Structures are given as structure tokens and as C-alpha cells.
Amino acid sequence: MSDGPHLSLPLRRPWPKLAERAAKLAYSVDEMVEALEAGLRRELREVPPVIREIMGGGEQAALFDEDRIAQLEAARSAAWGSTLATAVINCAIEATQCGRFGDEGFSNATETALREVALGHFRSMEEHYLGKAGLRSASNLRTRLDACLKATNLTALVRKHMTSTANRSPNPLPVIRTGIDEGPRL
């Protein structure tokens, strides 16, 4: 006996929990938003910080748009295997072409990419539920997922991610001392 189609959903860890909450009417939209934000935060961890550095700039950043696009294209190798990181690069290139860069451009690109990735996961969930649970369950699932995405504050999620990565120390691990004179203090 199965507890529902969400158990066999071929997505990474937080997404089946969202599918379960969306499929069961007992869960409120706020509880679904919590699960969606957990999934998006996990996806955000895969975005390499180099993308934000490339989107940054300074006073003369607008003079080097072509260079920025080339750097973003080169950053694809750091984003290999991550759907969100690739989507952020694509959206960052588009933002750069429209003249948006710096933290605002990065934030807009990341929000757009988050929305795209979330909708992609929603389509996967809906397809899976169509095959396992039937049409009525899948259409109800899609309606609840859309309401969940509308209730999610992607801007706040991106801002929180940007501040947490900016405040992260570059070397969080303790320094290993290997020299003969680097022992503990007496």
C-alpha cells in the first residue's frame, strides 16, 4: 500500500514534501510556502558566488557589458549540473543586455530563475500525479502550487540569500597548523 504518489516522485529531497502538502487539502498555503522556500533555499546553495561578482561592478560597470556577458558565459562551467545556476546565468545575461547589473540585476535575474525552476518542478509534479493519481488530483495539485508560488516572497528569499553569502567568511574551517613553531600557546 502506498501513502501517495509523492513518495515515488523523481525529484530531490524537499520537492516531494511540497508535492505531498499540495496534494493534501489539510495543509494550508502557508505550510506549502514553507516547503517551497526550503526547496528554493536548497537550490540557491548551488548558485556559484562568481555570478554575483560578475554582475557587480562599480561606477564604470556599464562600460563593460560585452565583457560581463563573456564572463557569464565562461561561468557556465562552474554551474554545471545545477538547473538553477544555469537559469541564473541565462537571466543574468538577459538582464545585462537590458542594462541591469550590480546587486539589483543579480537579484532580478535570480528571482526570475527561481520562478522558472519552481514552475519546472511544478510541471514535473503535475505530470507525475497525472500518471499516478489521475486528472482531478493533478489539476487540484497545479492550482494549489500556483497559489503557493503567488504567496511566496521571492524577493525576500533572494535578499536573505544575498546577505547570508555576503556575510559568510571565505574560510569557515579552522586553520590547520603544520609548522614546528605553530603549536598551541603556552
Looking at the domain assignment, is residue 154 inside a domain?
yes
In a domain, 149, yes or no: yes
pLDDT tens digits for range 2-28: 445 544 455 667 888 888 888 888 888
Instruction: Specify if 165 maps to a domain.
Output: no
| Between residues 107 and 174, the one the model is more confident about | 107
Q: Is 78 part of any domain?
A: yes
Nearest to 44 by CA among 118, 102, 124, 105: 118
Average pLDDT over residues 169-179: 52
Is residue 5 within 8 Å of residue 20, measured between CB atoms?
A: no
Range of the domain at 142: 11-160
Q: Based on the structure, what is the number of domains in the chain?
A: 1
Between CA 142 and CA 80 the distance in angstroms is: 29
Tens-place pLDDT, residues 93-106: 999 888 888 889 99
Q: 94 φ, ψ to 5°? A: -65, -40
Q: Evaluate whether residue 172 is within a structural domain.
A: no
Do 101 and 55 form a contact (C-beta atoms < 8 A)?
yes
Please report whether residue 135 resides in a domain.
Answer: yes
Residue 101 within a domain: yes
Residue 122 grid coordinates: 511544478
Give per-residue pLDDT as tens, 33-77: 998 999 999 889 888 888 888 888 544 455 556 688 888 888 888
Reference 42, options 12, 86, 10, 8; nearest CA is: 12
User: What distance in Å separates the CA atoms of residue 82 and residue 103, rounded to the nearest whole number?
Assistant: 21
Q: Hey, what's the cell of 81?
A: 549540473
